[in-house]
Structure 1
């Protein structure tokens, strides 16, 4: 990599080695410790000056990443040479060295490639001809201490030539590091001998094994990092499509063809000149981001977390555009770069595959399939679909769609050479091709395939054919949403959702989604559902409501794809209302019949209801790991069943009385109590309680109430893990009084829990029965006995006023650094039409610990009674909904009172401390 270092401009402005060497020579005295102290001060100043110069150059030209990475490597080289000369010349001089007292200093790993960021490790190897002498040990030890004193993070090894060969043969990591070995200073003849022995004794004849091991190592790294290049907080070094993937290509090319630099890969045929430009462009961008990241965080950081993304976007001079912020534009550039790295990897491996074809099976690819009978002009090459010649797509661009349809139909892998041609020729897809009925039929066949549409659509996206054929989809390729809720870019989320839909249809997720799996087998409008999943987020980033804008896209696109007028209308409706079901289930009280009626009024038909449920399930599940849980499944199932009943029976609440009577009969059977005891309990509980709670919860409540009354306990608390709901059910039975809920919420927070739902009931004789669902910080139930008892005792102490809960909450740190990266202005919405009996209050705010306690306290101060609370969290955003009345049981009305309620809630949501109650 000497070429890279020599291309660096004005190197002396970074560090002038001759000048510093002269100043080191001027240090007087012979005391080793004093010499080292003075040398350290001189070298430290030089290091800081050099780093400041590189940072200034990067600030002036913020996209020139490879220049910065080379600059840091050059600076490190000069520091190491100065340390080496100072140590061997002043600290441990050797007047008559023997043949065994030779020492060479090599840069290995990333430093060997002459690529470093500010806080990269300095990976070096000391080589000696034979067993290490006492002099070499002293020199190495002294150099390392001096480098550590300079604050450098040094990764080092010291070996003889024989050791180096033996260890490189047995350890892939050492072999890879030595592969990038570069002479820094010392005995150059010894380095040349080491390099020759490495080529002759380690590399020769082992290329195939090295390639296989490197690819396996890469696959394991991808799996560990999430196996997608579209995760919204990517690791730009280790993640898929990151720097390490580029390094792997170079290592393999270097090992197989003995090249010394990336441009030489063109001469070997592994890259074309255009692909070399893409490689260098991707490398330059990724290094720019990494260098900015190290400077910004002042540590060795490789993960692009939400809190640093806006700052790096600003440093790299991205600007806001209508509908898209600077940070979203920067991250889209990042993901497009990662995609380019993936494309290069596929092409590169195809060439290697051809090179090794004669010597056995190809690398890490699916098993060979029998040649299909009808390839319709395409060719078949060692189990993969390919083209017969280079201008095959030019002759008929519709073949770009046909290739993917054939791959799906016969379950074939597409040859990387054909993928390369498709990527190059995707530009041939114009409006004529888009309007061609054949092309649209091929695309719809892939989208609605009963085999594996996710994989083939992903290939189509990688080749750029997807975005060219559906330009609206092309606009969301690599587009991130700057929030903590969405784990993937819009295109990746959409393709994953289609894959989940296919898996549900094939019965692969029956256990996770029993209702959706059952419904998929009853659907009439299967095609419409697949197209709706494709289009549900297609209008994101356009500066308006993506549901409304997406419905407009659907009305234009569906007829082109070959859908009927009825299917087009249905798709547009599904896209327009794809968030309705989750918003109703997670943010409204499903026990309030008006909630169900309003939902049914929007849905209007059983088929729409079925389609909407499945679309909602795959949309939530495709957001990312950990977002879907059994509580969400329960809420969506409850809403579906209630709405389906209304659609079946009509808009009268004919089923309510029968449902309550059925629940009472089921609870009676489960309890096995005497009739008089059960009937007395039924009379105490209002009808709304029977509608809201499930049979299992009612049974638990009744046992708790009976035991508390029998033991004359005015306060009783029960906590039990509820795996069905994915949470812990906490039941509180206490004398009802204002402020009960905010104290409970504060106690649960102090116990390390978060509330996901709360149903608050008052018996006819004035006792509160509160059922609260609680999860731990990882979204799981509290299920260990000691944690359940701690939860109970914390609530008990809070309600009995044995602990000063406000003081303890104030002492507990509240902010979450990652959520602070998102500017969220709190909003309070008060609706007196959403319920016939209650005022519905919805608060949108940045999520933080104890937010619910603060909001409930504000409601208490506003003298309103909470009847139910529904808590939804979308990454950094919390949406908390309360059904409330005034103290007389009426809706909260009056402009002045509503304004005061809104003000208090806004202050609480914004983190302002309210006056004590």
Structure 2
């Protein structure tokens, strides 16, 4: 603790003189004189902030600015206190004005609350209360936001500190600004005495539990791409926590004492100061941009702060991404320092020892227990090197340390982490080509119950990035878009976590197919390496092609045989192919299946790619994976497996013909299954209905879907209805199914799509068929904006949905899509989303595929569909895919029953679609400019 006031600056002395001149003989009771004095105080506060900002120098200066602002604020408060003292000297002599919390530590952000304690003498009377009241009003008049400003006696303060650990913490930085310093000295002495009597363990445990709760609220990972620079893991609060604990346990000179005792190095203190300076610099810019105390580093603010701090675009990395990478590297440093502090607390028995990654390993009776030979010991519940000098003699011992940690499911001692940091220069080409290092690495990757936890430690120690430089290039790398929720390296480690969870059988409900086939794969190591390396092409150009090259280089260096190197490289190159095919193409089209089967080539590769695709999507973040995507992947897998069964190849022309025959047989088998299930009550209808729909329908939908659809159409015919609509919540697909059976006509799809958009439904899939008898049989899958099935628990909404779609199918004019001003989210406005329209005649034998990409918004699909209808195109199907702020809408179209191959016919369609997409983007750009939001220079993407 400290109770000493900061020395009064020259500016402070000048301010006191100006106030004295303003008050003159009338003093504080004279309203005009008081207002003049307040004016000087407000000007001093504003000037102090301006001068604090002037301390910022590009990427640094934040810590100096925070301290300058605290000092300038002290001067203003001291001047106010002095002015009031002449008005009420009796009250002033019974009060001590103290700074507490972060402000008490001598650091202040531009829009932060000023944490104050008005400490009263136990004998204080009404004069003291009047003085404090005038002081509070004066602070308000100055425009200061005072947080936690309460008037208490020493006894009251001590009682509250005993009950509330946060109050106790804030008092660790107790500092006198003005008034009777003896009151603060007395409080400090009594707090210190009570802490000694109660012991330190309870306070330390309470503070660390408080930290856990804070991080849980802010997001446990320090790698979420929109962090709170104050409260997130690795933020300013963690730095403050270390300082508070040090002050509580050792006094104000804690860091100096720790360095002297060899518990922290000078480099550790330098890391602390660098991290604090960077985070304070960012915080100053944040407060300047928002005009408030919001500490969330949101997408809309990141580009502007990056620009202010001098981060410019590089060849393959935007300035905003370089800035955020610096942020996450800083958060890693803060995390490393936090581990060091916790280790000190454990060693001094002030904090419970860790239970490692999954369990606690006791030490031996005589102290540190030796593990796996003489190189490692269990020290204070964590694994450490028995002798750091061994690293110099054999650097591979660093990789073995993590193998031992994985084997025993134990955490690493911070001394071991520090030793590795000092020895990273030894990780050279010889180290990377050492087969012993590779064996230890693969033991960690493949045998650990939680490989992601051990590899995260390896990443934070700096070893994994040095051992596999391709992975090192993605450590702390961000992608400036709203799709990805974590840094690239954190996403990668979460991918491995999902893979291990599937291998353990923990995901059987959400991933039944993956759980079934994971034990059937023959190349487990290749799959794990592909998961580790699949995003190493990020920031290098074409992420899949570049990633494949880098993966091959890494695997060759790790000593894999040539065929396994090629397999890992292929998996990385193809890791987006299965999701793109499932979500953007008609997987009922035989050509889609055959083309995909040709890419995959074998059942083994199909299994590996399915697993890699699923875990990759799961690791993006909450809400990205859903039952709809899961079903699409399962359907694509099933159809492709039928083509590749028995080692069948589709590379040759004869093989392709055989593949088509297999798909036809699969469709015919589905028809026969339906007829068998309906045999007991209407076999004739089943046979007739089976011939009404093409093979594509029978390849897409499962047995339960086919039966339900058939019963719906049978009931419609029985009631002699021309138009029928059925609505059903499909929890398996996480969507609401809308079935439409109606006479086919132009604009049917666009009218229905417009109606669904008008009621707030988000279309995630549409299967469009025309029966041989000339009826449309359309299946829409829709969701709420939040991503769940539309209308769950809202029976009236489902009734309205059915009625509105029925009227639309009957030809009721659709209401135009809502345009004009819309509720623009600042976060989404930070991005530039390029608009593209591409035509493809090779993706389908029966139709031209149009892929339109642009900024996502409600109603976009219906507007694009209207353009196609206006052009006289017949819509055969639609697929909807999205990546945060970016939508990819795919349409299968015909013109007069044929593909749209003539460029003269394509150009007006392309222009009209681009007009819709660009108009939307232009609106967002204009609103962004109006709001002063900086925008990313280039496109967003995966």
Q: Structure 1 length as normaliser, TM-score?
A: 0.93
Q: Distance in 2 between matches of 1:468 and 1:62?
A: 26
Query: 2:193 pairs with 200, 210, 217, which one?
Result: 200
**1:740 — aligned with what?**
748
Please tell me whether residue 134 in structure 1 is matched to residue 126 in structure 2: yes
Greater alpha carbon shift after TM alignment, 145-154 vs 321-330: 145-154
Query: 2:70 pairs with 69, 73, 86, which one?
Result: 73
Query: 1:830 pairs with 818, 834, 839, which one?
Result: 839
**1:414 — aligned with what?**
412
Change (3 A) 1:724 1:45: same
Greater alpha carbon shift after TM alignment, 686-695 vs 435-444: 686-695
Structure 1 residue 264 displacement after superposition: 5.3
Q: Tell whether the 8 Å contact from 2:851 to 2:888 is kept in structure 1 after alignment.
A: yes
Q: How does 1:790-809 map to 2 (within 5 A)?
A: 790-796=800-806, 805-806=815-816, 809=818
1:871-893 Cα shifts (integer Å, max 9, x gaps): 1111121111111111x221112
Query: 2:323 pairs with 311, 318, 330, which one?
Result: 330
Please tell me whether residue 731 in structure 1 is matched to residue 739 in structure 2: yes
Query: 2:910 pairs with 902, 906, 912, which one?
Result: 902
Q: How does 1:266-305 map to 2 (within 5 A)?
A: 266-267=259-260, 269-305=262-298
Structure 1 residue 262 displacement after superposition: 4.9
**1:557 — aligned with what?**
554
Q: How does 1:314-713 map to 2 (within 5 A)?
A: 314-356=307-349, 362=353, 366-369=359-362, 374-542=372-540, 544-648=541-645, 650=648, 651=656, 652=658, 653-668=660-675, 673-711=681-719, 713=721
Q: Tell whether the 8 Å contact from 2:23 to 2:37 is kept in structure 1 after alignment.
A: no
**1:243 — aligned with what?**
236
Greater alpha carbon shift after TM alignment, 769-778 vs 406-415: 406-415
Greater alpha carbon shift after TM alignment, 604-613 vs 741-750: 741-750
Structure 1 residue 611 displacement after superposition: 0.8
Q: How does 1:208-287 map to 2 (within 5 A)?
A: 208-259=201-252, 262-263=255-256, 265-267=258-260, 269-287=262-280
1:18-62 Cα shifts (integer Å, max 9, x gaps): 34423442485776665554444333333223322322332x555
Q: Tell whether the 8 Å contact from 1:242 to 1:286 is kept in structure 2 after alignment.
A: yes
**1:774 — aligned with what?**
782
Q: Tell whether the 8 Å contact from 1:814 to 1:848 is kept in structure 2 after alignment.
A: no
Change (3 A) 1:427 1:18: same
Structure 1 residue 664 displacement after superposition: 3.5
Change (3 A) 1:68 1:82: same
Alignment partner of 1:115: what SS?
A: coil
Q: Distance in 2 between matches of 1:295 and 1:871?
A: 40
Change (3 A) 1:799 1:820: farther
Alignment partner of 2:819: what SS?
A: helix
Q: Structure 2 length as normaliser, TM-score?
A: 0.90
Structure 1 residue 913 displacement after superposition: 11
Query: 2:303 pairs with 305, 310, 313, which one?
Result: 310
**1:788 — aligned with what?**
798
Q: Tell whether the 8 Å contact from 2:427 to 2:467 is kept in structure 1 after alignment.
A: yes
Structure 1 residue 169 displacement after superposition: 1.0
Structure 1 residue 402 displacement after superposition: 1.2
Structure 1 residue 263 displacement after superposition: 4.6
Structure 1 residue 867 displacement after superposition: 1.4
Alignment partner of 2:880: what SS?
A: strand
Structure 1 residue 708 displacement after superposition: 4.2
Alignment partner of 2:879: what SS?
A: strand
Structure 1 residue 412 displacement after superposition: 2.9
Query: 1:22 pairs with 20, 23, 34, which one?
Result: 20
Q: Tell whether the 8 Å contact from 1:854 to 1:909 is kept in structure 2 after alignment.
A: no
**2:116 — aligned with what?**
124
Q: Distance in 1 between matches of 2:4 and 2:603?
A: 66
Q: Tell whether the 8 Å contact from 1:165 to 1:201 is kept in structure 2 after alignment.
A: no
1:694-726 Cα shifts (integer Å, max 9, x gaps): 333333434444444455554433222111001
Q: Distance in 2 between matches of 1:172 and 1:30?
A: 39
Please tell me whether residue 868 in structure 1 is matched to residue 847 in structure 2: no
Q: Distance in 1 between matches of 2:578 and 2:91?
A: 82
Q: Distance in 2 between matches of 1:287 and 1:801?
A: 61
Structure 1 residue 683 displacement after superposition: 4.8
Q: Distance in 2 between matches of 1:201 and 1:159?
A: 18
Q: Tell whether the 8 Å contact from 1:270 to 1:352 is kept in structure 2 after alignment.
A: no
1:497-543 Cα shifts (integer Å, max 9, x gaps): 1122122112122222111121111111111111111111112112x
Q: Distance in 2 between matches of 1:895 and 1:604?
A: 34
Q: Tell whether the 8 Å contact from 2:433 to 2:559 is kept in structure 1 after alignment.
A: no
For these two proteins, the number of residue pairs brought into alignment is 901
Change (3 A) 1:3 1:106: closer
**1:850 — aligned with what?**
859
Please tell me whether residue 760 in structure 1 is matched to residue 768 in structure 2: yes
Change (3 A) 1:261 1:105: farther
Query: 2:184 pairs with 188, 191, 194, which one?
Result: 191
Q: Tell whether the 8 Å contact from 1:253 to 1:265 is kept in structure 2 after alignment.
A: no
Q: Tell whether the 8 Å contact from 1:324 to 1:541 is kept in structure 2 after alignment.
A: yes
Unaligned runs of 5+ in 1: none
Q: Distance in 1 between matches of 2:604 and 2:725?
A: 43
Change (3 A) 1:140 1:663: farther
Query: 2:43 pairs with 37, 42, 45, which one?
Result: 45
Q: Distance in 1 between matches of 2:333 and 2:343?
A: 16
Structure 1 residue 809 displacement after superposition: 1.2
Q: Tell whether the 8 Å contact from 1:24 to 1:86 is kept in structure 2 after alignment.
A: no
Greater alpha carbon shift after TM alignment, 108-117 vs 276-285: 108-117
1:620-653 Cα shifts (integer Å, max 9, x gaps): 1111122111111111111111111101164322
Q: Tell whether the 8 Å contact from 1:761 to 1:867 is kept in structure 2 after alignment.
A: yes
Q: Tell whether the 8 Å contact from 1:13 to 1:53 is kept in structure 2 after alignment.
A: no
Please tell me whether residue 161 in structure 1 is matched to residue 158 in structure 2: no
Change (3 A) 1:19 1:889: farther
1:320-356 Cα shifts (integer Å, max 9, x gaps): 1111111111111111100011111112221222222
Structure 1 residue 315 displacement after superposition: 0.3
Unaligned runs of 5+ in 2: 364-368, 649-655, 923-942
Q: Tell whether the 8 Å contact from 1:755 to 1:772 is kept in structure 2 after alignment.
A: yes
Q: Tell whether the 8 Å contact from 1:36 to 1:146 is kept in structure 2 after alignment.
A: no
Query: 2:892 pairs with 883, 898, 901, which one?
Result: 883
- Taking only aligned residues, the RMSD between alpha carbons, in angstroms, comes to 2.7
**2:759 — aligned with what?**
751
**1:115 — aligned with what?**
107
Greater alpha carbon shift after TM alignment, 201-210 vs 781-790: 201-210
Q: Distance in 2 between matches of 1:411 and 1:750?
A: 54
Alignment partner of 2:525: what SS?
A: helix
Please tell me whether residue 105 in structure 1 is matched to residue 94 in structure 2: no
Change (3 A) 1:97 1:226: closer
Q: Distance in 2 between matches of 1:20 and 1:811?
A: 54
Q: Distance in 2 between matches of 1:4 and 1:863?
A: 82
1:276-311 Cα shifts (integer Å, max 9, x gaps): 111001100011011111101111111111111111
Q: Distance in 1 between matches of 2:584 and 2:375?
A: 55
Q: Tell whether the 8 Å contact from 1:859 to 1:901 is kept in structure 2 after alignment.
A: yes
